């Protein structure tokens, strides 16, 4: 899959799981970076089944960014769970700004340059595990409104349709 | 209105500067016009191919809607020179469009339907050894109309970041614009093949490529705030630079008068069936004619600002047209701005110090959002959503239709008003506030964005009963370089691209003069 496909699918899946919009957007960016960096896909699957974990992770990143905005010193984060730690790292690595991450056991030392863009590159293709891919598809489908006659009249192209 | 900063114009200007030439590299097309073709063009040191697949489409399947499943023609812009294997693969996948799968060497996917009236008439004229009716070319403007132009990773095609550093493709939608330019070339080639005759280049140049476009463009603008900011800033900077000139040269004055007259002719040629939109156009045509004496009075030593100030009491529509004209006359002030219209990094925003700083930012820049009463049914009547039918973006009535709980979060104004109402009276770190109110994080991000990117937000309540998506569509399409807007409802419009643009064998610097083209009189 392309990066954009994975990111978009991640946003929709998080929304379908009940995650609020800002956190779902950030989750989608995290997901693509996580897959690109070969992070554990099982951790993502587990988080999607407990959306409050995604909201909590988003909030954790927010506090790190907030701390980085008032100090030039690195910010430390401790995370014992390896899967959650990997997602935290992917989340920070997916930020638009430059993020230097030093991981030592459960500790992640984070240096953010909020006004400097990230220079991370993106691969051509991303490979999702079939089980995660299916879970993402199922959750994403929950964001789509069923088709109906009334619905079709609210789409572009509805109404006047003379052919020229 | 399109300007010389519009993306198609920037792309064609680059092709002209490089004296590019479109080459036909494959042609396997029947006498009826069905089969496969491929074209190659060099741009910025790379070669790109358009692979075109032309089908026999029953008339009852010809539809502009996203939910259509068959088209007259399907296209892929390919990275490099397409081999016979590439063409064979694309011939299988491209007609499937959204149901196909594509590779990272496929940069853009598109499809188009014929304007049957224009197509049949042109073929008949060529077969009779004649030229098509210029009036019909004026009225319709294209032989085929694209109904989707997909880029940036959709259905497996290449992500934009993979080619965004390529010379010539750095600008927004540059690969998509190259695709539509080459599709226009293909349609001209195809009609001459089927008609068995050669089009007069002066007529052929006035045949552009159509497009039918709808609601998807509105969410795009909301979801790409940094891009929107960069587009608007480039345009405003261009205008400011021109107005800052103390005088104009005699050559500029002469060009201004010539282009003002061309614009008058363009308006006269621009007639649409929708009565309300046609009324606006006819008023603009009349107002522009009345304003013309200001152009007659321009001369060296007079400033552009004086001309601009003369339009202060005129309609917004006339001022938009005048701004585009002034920008057109001063390329040396304008053209370098095109390189800053993309967004390579995403938003670089700084968090608020606390909720007081957040509140101050809302009070300073979001008065337009706070002014509405969102409890009033008409201020929140509409909801944007994605249909399960081919994921078509749609707009519903939340009080009459199901699905509002699945609303796409384009209700930015309402969200910021709700955030403002919930902010505490005493200052808190913003993260403490969002710990209690995670739903407000989206609005907080938008406020932070607007703090840094002044043009990032559409100042309108997009869920109000009075919201007109067509206005957002027109805004985005103008940046693409669209002309001859032909709105079919408040939800969608047809447009023309590349009308007047140099043909595939005419790409030379002196040919970059097709702002608001008019048929020769």
Q: Do B162 and A122 touch (CB under 8 A)?
A: yes
Confidence of residue B61 (pLDDT cuts 50, 70, 90): confident
Closest-CA residue of chain B to A4:
B153
pLDDT at A32: 98
For the record, the structure tokens of A10 come out as: 């991640």
pLDDT of B216 strictly over 90: no
Q: Do B351 and A124 touch (CB under 8 A)?
A: no
pLDDT of A162 strictly over 60: no
What distance in Å separates the CA atoms of residue A18 and residue A16, rounded to the nearest whole number? Answer: 5
Q: What are phi and psi of B483, to 5 degrees?
A: -130, 175
Q: Do B344 and A117 touch (CB under 8 A)?
A: yes
Q: Which helix (H) or strand (E) holds B185?
A: helix B174-195
CB burial class (10 A; 0-12, 13-18, 19+) of residue B110? buried
pLDDT at B272: 95
B423 Rama class: left (phi>0) / alpha (psi -120 to 50) / beta = beta
Our CA-based measurement puts residue B314 at a distance from the nearest CA of chain A, in whole angstroms, of 32
**Average pLDDT for B344-364:** 95
Contacts of B291 (CB under 8 A, 6+ apart): B310, B311, B314, B318, B322
Residues of chain A with pLDDT > 90, as a percent, come to 88
Q: Where are the alpha helices (DSSP H) in B297-440?
A: 304-310, 316-329, 331-334, 355-365, 367-370, 412-422, 430-436
Mean pLDDT, chain A, integer = 93
Contact B445/A at CB under 8 A = yes
pLDDT of A152 strictly over 80: no
**Average pLDDT for B417-445:** 97
What distance in Å separates the CA atoms of residue B27 and residue B10, rounded to the nearest whole number? Answer: 29
Count Cβ–Cβ pairs < 8 Å, chain A vs chain B: 179
Confidence of residue A42 (pLDDT cuts 50, 70, 90): very high
Beta bridge partners of B47: B42
Residue B462 per-residue DSSP state: T
pLDDT at B466: 95
Q: pLDDT tens digits for B45-55?
A: 999 999 999 99
User: 């909030």: which residue's tokens?
Assistant: A59
What distance in Å separates the CA atoms of residue B50 and residue B148, rounded to the nearest whole number? Answer: 15
Which residues in chain B have Cβ-Cβ distances shorter than 8 Å to A128? Answer: none
Q: pLDDT tens digits for B93-129?
A: 999 999 999 999 999 999 999 999 999 999 999 999 9
Our CA-based measurement puts residue B466 at a distance from the nearest CA of chain A, in whole angstroms, of 15
User: What separation in angstroms does the CA of A162 have from each of A64, B8, B115, B148, B212?
Assistant: 56, 27, 11, 18, 12
pLDDT of B3 strictly over 90: yes
Beta bridge partners of A109: A76, A102
B45 Rama class: left (phi>0) / alpha (psi -120 to 50) / beta = left
Radius of gyration (Cα) for chain A, nearest Å?
19
What distance in Å separates the CA atoms of residue B147 and residue B162, rounded to the nearest whole number? Answer: 25
Our CA-based measurement puts residue B119 at a distance from the nearest CA of chain A, in whole angstroms, of 10
For the record, the structure tokens of B46 come out as: 């790379």
Q: Count Cα atoms within 13 angstroms, Cβ side, for A114.
A: 17
pLDDT of A164 strictly over 70: no
Contact B458/A at CB under 8 A = no
Q: Do A59 and B348 touch (CB under 8 A)?
A: no
pLDDT at B500: 97
In three-state form (DSSP H/G/I as H, E/B as E, the rest C), the secondary structure along A128-155 is: CCHHHHHHHHHHHHCCCECCCHHHHCCE
What distance in Å separates the CA atoms of residue A137 and residue B316, rounded to the nearest whole number? Answer: 46
Nearest to B81 by CA among B123, B38, B112, B122: B38
Nearest to A150 among B158, B161, B401 (CB): B401
Contact present, B41 and B47 (Cβ < 8 Å): yes
**What value, to the nearest 5°, has the Cα angle with vertex A106 and ends A104 and A107?**
60
Q: Do A145 and B152 touch (CB under 8 A)?
A: no
A105 Rama class: left (phi>0) / alpha (psi -120 to 50) / beta = left
Confidence of residue A154 (pLDDT cuts 50, 70, 90): low
Residues of chain B with pLDDT > 90, as a percent, come to 91
Best residue of A93, A152, A154 to probe chain B, by most B CBs closer than 10 Å: A154
CA dihedral B467, B473, B476, B479 (to 10 degrees): -120
Best residue of B159, B430, B469 to probe chain A, by most A CBs closer than 10 Å: B159
CB burial class (10 A; 0-12, 13-18, 19+) of residue B495? buried
User: What separation in angstroms does the CA of B28 have from each of B12, B16, B109, B196?
Assistant: 27, 29, 20, 16
For the record, the structure tokens of B421 come out as: 């109402």
Our CA-based measurement puts residue A137 at a distance from the nearest CA of chain B, in whole angstroms, of 12
User: b/e map of A95-129 (b: 16 or more CB within 10 Å)?
Assistant: bbbbbebeeeeeebebebebeeebeeebeebbebe
Contact B277/A at CB under 8 A = no
What distance in Å separates the CA atoms of residue B262 and residue B342, rounded to the nearest whole number? Answer: 30
Q: What are phi and psi of B206, to 5 degrees?
A: -85, 0
Closest-CA residue of chain B to A66:
B351
Q: What are phi and psi of B244, to 5 degrees?
A: -80, -10
pLDDT of A6 strictly over 60: yes
Contacts of B236 (CB under 8 A, 6+ apart): B455
Nearest to A114 among B140, B348, B492 (CB): B348
Nearest to A148 by CA among B213, B462, B60, B394: B394
A69 Rama class: left (phi>0) / alpha (psi -120 to 50) / beta = alpha
Best residue of B57, B137, B354, B389 to probe chain A, by most A CBs closer than 10 Å: B389
pLDDT of A157 strictly over 70: no
Contact A152/B at CB under 8 A = yes
User: What separation in angstroms does the CA of B218 have from each of A25, B417, B457?
Assistant: 18, 21, 12
In three-state form (DSSP H/G/I as H, E/B as E, the rest C), the secondary structure along B87-135 is: HHHHHHHHHHHHHCCCCCCEEEEEEEEECHHHHHHHHHHHHCCCCCCHH
User: 């990111």: which residue's tokens?
Assistant: A7
Contact A122/B at CB under 8 A = yes
What distance in Å separates the CA atoms of residue B186 and residue B256, rounded to the nearest whole number? Answer: 34
User: 């701004």: which residue's tokens?
Assistant: B323
Which residues in chain A have Cβ-Cβ distances shorter than 8 Å to B118? Answer: 164
Confidence of residue A159 (pLDDT cuts 50, 70, 90): low
Q: What sign results for the dihedral spanned by CA atoms B96, B98, B104, B110?
A: positive
Q: Which helix (H) or strand (E) holds A97?
A: strand A97-104
Which residues in chain A have Cβ-Cβ distances shorter than 8 Å to B158? Answer: 2, 124
Closest-CA residue of chain A to B115:
A164
Confidence of residue B17 (pLDDT cuts 50, 70, 90): very high
Q: Do A22 and B441 touch (CB under 8 A)?
A: yes
What distance in Å separates the CA atoms of residue B73 and residue B479, rounded to the nearest whole number? Answer: 26
Contact present, B79 and B158 (Cβ < 8 Å): yes
Q: pLDDT tens digits for A96-133?
A: 999 999 999 999 999 999 999 999 999 999 999 999 99
Taking each helix axis from N to C terminus, what angle separates A51-68 and A21-36, rounded to the nearest 10 degrees? 90
Strands B208-213 and B23-29: what pairing?
A: unpaired
Our CA-based measurement puts residue B488 at a distance from the nearest CA of chain A, in whole angstroms, of 6
pLDDT at A28: 98
Quote the longest CA-to-CA distance of chain B.
82
Radius of gyration (Cα) for chain B, nearest Å?
24
pLDDT of B189 strictly over 80: yes
Q: Which helix (H) or strand (E) holds B262?
A: helix B250-269
pLDDT at A155: 65
Contact A123/B at CB under 8 A = no
Q: Do A22 and B401 touch (CB under 8 A)?
A: no
Which residues in chain B have Cβ-Cβ distances shorter than 8 Å to A157? Answer: 63-67, 212, 214, 488, 491-492
Mean pLDDT, chain B, integer = 95
Which residues in chain B have Cβ-Cβ distances shorter than 8 Å to A1? Answer: 156
Our CA-based measurement puts residue A40 at a distance from the nearest CA of chain B, in whole angstroms, of 23
Instruction: Write out residues 231-270 of B within 8 Å (CB-CB) of A.
Output: none
Confidence of residue A158 (pLDDT cuts 50, 70, 90): low
Confidence of residue B66 (pLDDT cuts 50, 70, 90): confident
Lowest mean pLDDT among A158-162, B27-31, B87-91, B195-199: A158-162
Q: Do A2 and B118 touch (CB under 8 A)?
A: no
Q: Do B158 and A2 touch (CB under 8 A)?
A: yes
pLDDT of A156 strictly over 70: no
Contact B101/A at CB under 8 A = no
């Amino acid at each position: 899959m392309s990066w954009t496909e994975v990111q978009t699918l991640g946003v929709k899946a998080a929304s379908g799981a009940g995650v609020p919009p800002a956190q779902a957007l950030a989750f989608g960016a995290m997901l693509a970076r996580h897959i690109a960096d070969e992070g554990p896909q099982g951790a993502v699957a587990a988080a999607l089944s407990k959306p409050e974990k995604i909201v909590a992770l988003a909030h954790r990143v927010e506090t790190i960014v907030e701390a980085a905005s008032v100090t030039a010193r690195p910010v430390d984060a401790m995370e014992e769970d390896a899967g959650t730690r990997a997602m935290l790292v992917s989340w920070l690595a997916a930020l638009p700004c430059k993020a230097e991450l030093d991981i030592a056991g459960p500790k992640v030392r984070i240096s953010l340059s909020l006004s400097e863009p990230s220079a991370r590159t993106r691969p051509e293709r991303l490979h999702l595990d079939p089980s995660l891919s299916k879970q993402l598809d199922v959750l994403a489908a929950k964001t789509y409104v069923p088709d109906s006659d009334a619905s079709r009249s609210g789409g572009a192209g509805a109404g006047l349709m003379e052919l020229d | 209105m399109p300007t010389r900063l519009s993306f198609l114009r920037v792309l064609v200007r680059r092709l002209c500067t490089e004296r590019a030439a479109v080459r036909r590299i494959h042609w396997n097309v029947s006498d009826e016009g069905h089969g496969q073709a491929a074209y190659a063009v060099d741009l910025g040191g790379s070669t790109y191919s358009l692979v075109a697949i032309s089908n026999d489409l029953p008339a009852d399947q010809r539809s502009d809607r996203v939910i259509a499943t068959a088209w007259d023609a399907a296209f892929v812009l390919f990275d490099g020179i397409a081999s016979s294997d590439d063409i064979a693969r694309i011939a299988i996948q491209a007609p499937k469009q959204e149901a196909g799968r594509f590779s990272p060497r496929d940069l853009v996917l598109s499809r188009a339907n014929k304007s049957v009236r224009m197509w049949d008439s042109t073929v008949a004229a060529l077969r009779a050894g004649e030229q098509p009716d210029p009036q019909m070319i004026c009225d319709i403007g294209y032989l085929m109309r694209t109904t989707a132009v997909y880029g940036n990773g959709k259905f497996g095609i290449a992500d934009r970041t993979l080619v965004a550093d390529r010379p010539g493709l750095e600008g927004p939608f540059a690969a998509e614009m190259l695709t539509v330019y080459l599709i226009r070339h293909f349609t001209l080639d195809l009609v001459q093949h089927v008609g068995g005759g050669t089009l007069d280049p002066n007529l052929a140049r006035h045949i552009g490529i159509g497009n039918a476009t709808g609601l998807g463009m509105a969410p795009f603008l909301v979801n790409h705030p940094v891009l929107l900011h960069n587009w608007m800033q480039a345009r405003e900077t261009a205008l400011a630079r021109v107005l800052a000139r103390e005088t104009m040269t005699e050559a500029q004055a002469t060009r201004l008068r010539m282009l003002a007259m061309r614009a008058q002719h363009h308006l006269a040629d621009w007639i649409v069936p929708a009565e309300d939109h046609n009324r606006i156009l006819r008023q603009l045509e009349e107002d522009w004619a009345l304003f013309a004496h200001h152009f007659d009075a321009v001369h060296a030593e007079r400033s552009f600002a004086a001309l601009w100030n003369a339009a202060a009491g005129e309609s917004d529509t006339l001022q938009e047209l005048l701004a585009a004209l002034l920008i057109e006359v001063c390329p040396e002030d304008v053209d370098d701005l095109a390189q800053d219209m993309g967004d390579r990094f995403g938003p670089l925003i700084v968090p608020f110090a606390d909720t007081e700083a957040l509140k101050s930012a809302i009070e300073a820049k979001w008065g337009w959002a706070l002014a509405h009463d969102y409890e009033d049914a008409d201020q929140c009547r509409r909801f944007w959503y994605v249909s399960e039918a081919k994921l078509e973006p749609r707009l519903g009535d939340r009080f009459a239709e199901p699905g509002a709980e699945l609303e796409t979060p384009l209700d930015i104004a309402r969200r910021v008003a709700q955030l403002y109402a919930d902010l505490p009276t005493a200052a808190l770190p913003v993260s403490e506030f969002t710990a209690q109110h995670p739903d407000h994080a989206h609005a907080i991000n938008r406020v932070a964005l607007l703090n840094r990117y002044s043009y990032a937000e559409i100042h309108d309540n997009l869920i109000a009963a009075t919201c007109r998506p067509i206005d957002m569509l027109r805004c985005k399409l103008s940046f693409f370089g669209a002309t001859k807007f032909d709105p079919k409802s408040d939800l969608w419009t047809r447009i023309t691209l590349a009308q007047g643009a140099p043909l595939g064998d005419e790409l030379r610097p002196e040919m970059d003069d097709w702002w608001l083209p008019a048929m020769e009189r």
